[in-house]
Amino acid sequence: MTLLLLALSISLGTAFPEASAEATPDGSGLSVELTVAVDSALSPTTVVAHIGTSTNQSTFQLGPEGDNVYSGILASPARNQFVIVEAIFPDGSAEFSQTVTLAELGVERSLLGMTATPPGDGSGPSRPDRPGLLLPVLLVAVALAAGFMTVRVFRRGVQ
């Protein structure tokens, strides 16, 4: 089963060359089986998956399956949430995967409350709430504007 899932997988970045997910209904939510391959050059002590939205996240530990493959069962409401995988190393450092959605990992769109047609043609729902870059971009823009204004005021005062 693990080999089949990895054959139908996507890459989450260089440290995580393959990942896939399957889901089954579980009460009002979903039980999601996540399978992730970790680069053979890495030797993490722990691999965890973060699932949720930018405001509400849960963390689940993935267990080793052998051959640098880790898997685990995640609980999720029946909607397309984001997933980030984290490998934690003996020295305490960590490597994070790219952010992907459950649909991108292979969970059936109908289980996520989505139409069968992928977004982009106007008929499907928009992408899920992901951790964004809006706040950091705004902070950088404000810092640049403040720096520019400081330089202008300083130059006027010197002349």
- Confidence bin at 87 (pLDDT 50/70/90): very high
51 and 122 in a single domain? The answer is yes
Quote the number of domains for the chain: 2
Closest CA to 127 of 154, 146, 109: 109
In degrees rounded to 5, what are phi and psi of residue 152? -65, -45
Residue the block writes with tokens 């050059």: 41
Q: Are residues 102 and 141 in the same domain?
A: no
pLDDT classification of 47: cutoffs 50, 70, 90: very high
* Together in a domain, 114 and 60: yes
113: left (phi over 0), alpha (psi -120 to 50) or beta: left
- Mean pLDDT of the residues in the chain: 78
Average pLDDT value for residue range 16-41: 89
Residue 139 reports pLDDT greater than 70: no
Q: What single-letter amino acid sits at 12?
A: L
pLDDT-based confidence at residue 31 (cuts at 50, 70, 90): very high
110 lies in the same domain as 151: no
**Are residues 102 and 151 part of one domain?**
no
Q: Is 0.75 topped by the overall pTM? A: no
Question: What is the domain extent for residue 49?
Answer: 2-128
Q: Is 4 left (phi over 0), alpha (psi -120 to 50) or beta?
A: alpha
Q: Closest Cα to residue 9, out of 70, 73, 62? A: 70
Is residue 125 pLDDT above 50, yes or no?
no
Instruction: Note whether 65 and 137 are same-domain residues.
Output: no
- Same domain (yes/no): 20, 41: yes
27/97 same-domain check? yes
- Can you state the percent helix, strand and coil of the chain, rounding each to 5? 20, 35, 40
